[in-house]
Amino acid sequence: MSRLAGKVAIITGGARGMGASHARLFVKEGAKVVIADILEEEGQALATELGENAKFTKLDVTNNANWEQAVALAEEAFGPVNVLVNNAGITMNKSIEEMTLDEYKRIVDINQVSVFLGMKAIIPSMKEAKGGSIVNISSMNGLVGGAIGYTDTKFAVRGMTKAAALGLAHYGIRVNSVHPGVIETPMIVQEETKDAVNEFAKYIPNGRVAKPEEVSSLVLFLASDESSYSTGSEFVVDGGMTAR
């Protein structure tokens, strides 16, 4: 039985990496998916690959008007939205001494403000659908320290998730955060970072970097009715890193 049959989902940062993995699994499990990203060529190619149950829309997650357009497209194509996965995010390999205010604000806008905009934009559609599930992708660095800017915003996503869960529970809208560790995505498998990642993997209790599909399985659970009594909670998928 398809675990997301009848569900309509929007996935940000859905063109590649973890977002693309989520989209593939969601469609496989019966959902109709809007892939939202600024990467038009990759996003459209993925939507074509996934067939009639997937659409692509160009979405700048920091732009409120873009959010309204994405929700409208989903409703027109598939109906009211049941699931939102706030997956888009960036990081920057700079110290607090090196980072400029503009660079810091860019990380905040993409990693934090976008989550607020996405949750706010989706509420009317989920109310029409009589409920829904919002999955906010944070990080293990939303639980422990890491890069400046990235850590700050991922902690914020964790707090926003709890606040929204309390504020939206009476609508039947659940809100949870997912905290991945080191995942094999385009962001970390670039040639210049590959050696550092392989070295870091030696310190992961599970002894390896995770595949995107391992995160997608958890996101699927939270998107489905199987997690109907889970809201305002953190779900960690980090190979044991934060257990130390």
Two structure tokens written together for 35: 């892939």
State the Cα–Cα distance between residues 3 and 220, nearest whole angstrom.
8
Q: How far is CA 126 from the centre of its chain?
A: 17
> In angstroms, rounded to a whole number, what is the distance separating the alpha carbons of residues 78 and 80?
7
Cα 235 from Cα 211, distance rounded (Å): 16
Beta bridge partners of 177: 136, 234
Backbone angles phi, psi at 178, to 5 degrees: -115, 135
88 φ, ψ (degrees, to nearest 5): -65, 140
Catalytic annotation, pick one of 150, 171, 203, 229: 150
Strands of the chain, DSSP E: 8-12, 32-37, 54-58, 83-86, 132-137, 173-180, 234-237
**3-state SS, residue 35:** strand
Other residues' Cβ atoms within 10 Å of the Cβ of residue 229: 7
Indicate the SS3 state at residue 129.
coil
Cα–Cα distance between 174 and 170 in angstroms, integer?
9
Asked about 203 being catalytic, the answer comes back as no
**Which residues are tagged catalytic?**
150
